Amino acid sequence: MKKQSRLKIIAASAVLLAGMMFLVVAMTRSTSMRHFTPALLVAAGDEAHDQRVQVDGLIAAGSSQWDAANFELTFAVRDRETESTVNVIYKDRLKPDNFTDGGSVFVEGKYDATQNLVVATKLMTKCASKYEGAESAVSTDETSYISE
């Protein structure tokens, strides 16, 4: 009798462990995404097609169009070192305040290699000049404090 109950416990534990491992693998696959520069994404092409990707670069000059009525922002992300670009469409969300041509941008979304297009679900921008002044002011204050 004890042997049968032990076997049942071991079998139930094995099933639970296998189920948990399956869930971990499934969630890791669905939430993981590869990071690319525009040049690397264009080169990866078919391999990255229909996959979730992260792309960072600069907003190509003259490429952005904002349709306020439909909350749709389209633009191109340019590689920092080459002239490669990837087109981006960002729908149903507001345009970030500091979104400007030539600015640094980070995009997450699904890549369509046939159109060289990322349908973005997340868009982050940063304005380097905005933070450079604050850093230099802090370092100046620290320098004067140390020398006193």
Region 8-21: mean pLDDT is 89
Q: E strand or H helix at 142, and its extent?
A: helix 128-147
Residue 85: per-residue pLDDT: 93
Token pair listed for 131: 């933070």
Predicted TM-score of the model (pTM) = 0.65
Q: Residue 145 pLDDT > 60, yes or no?
A: no
Burial label, 31 (beta-carbon count in 10 A; 0-12, 13-18, 19+): exposed
Residue 110 pLDDT more than 50? yes
Of 35, 98, 90, nearest in space to 66 by CA: 90
Which helix (H) or strand (E) segment holds residue 2: the answer is helix 2-31
d(CA 98, CA 19): 46
Domain ranges of the chain: 1-32, 35-133
Q: How confident is the model at residue 32 (pLDDT cuts 50, 70, 90)?
A: low
CATH code of the region 35-133? 2.40.50.140
Average pLDDT estimate for 93-104: 88
In the predicted model, is pLDDT for residue 70 greater than 60? yes
